[in-house]
Amino acid sequence: MQYLLLLAHAPDAWGDTSQGDWVTYTRALSEAGVLVSGAGLHAPDTATSVRLRDAERLVTDGPFADTKEHLVGFYVIEVADLDGALDWAARAPNVRTGTVEVRPIQADLVPEVTLGAGTAAAG
């Protein structure tokens, strides 16, 4: 089963993890054969939020939610069960000072579509 590991970190704790910590963790996921995908995110001040209200598109600079922790990245992993996902989440470098939210992916709702690198789908 696939799980999303959604990584959040307190802004004042950025120095608690290094690039090397993330490389080591990502390598461990890959070598264990559980890594499906993942990426780091730019800082929240680079976000743009979009809403549609009464057929009007509303665009706001910044993240949607005002939180104490910022989204810093994600991994999609494939493991046998929730316990396996929680084990990997507990090993994430940011878990000591941030949060790793673990969510199962609803694979039955996702169409079997593969997009090539650099391909974007527009709605």
CATH of the domain at 71: 3.30.70.1060
Whole-model pTM: value is 0.80
Structural contact between residues 102 and 5, judged by C-beta atoms closer than 8 angstroms: yes
Round to whole Å and give the CA distance between 58 and 60.
7
* 123 residues of the chain, pLDDT tens digit each: 999 999 998 877 767 788 899 999 999 999 999 999 999 998 888 888 888 999 999 998 876 666 677 888 999 999 999 999 999 999 999 998 899 999 999 977 656 665 555 555 554
- Within-domain flag for 108: no
Question: Which residue range(s) make up the domain with 65?
Answer: 2-101
Question: Position 37: which residue type?
Answer: S
- Within-domain flag for 27: yes
For 96, half-sphere exposure in the C-beta direction (CA atoms, 13 angstrom radius) is 9
- Within-domain flag for 11: yes
- Within-domain flag for 117: no
- Within-domain flag for 107: no
- Within-domain flag for 30: yes
- Number of domains composing the chain: 1
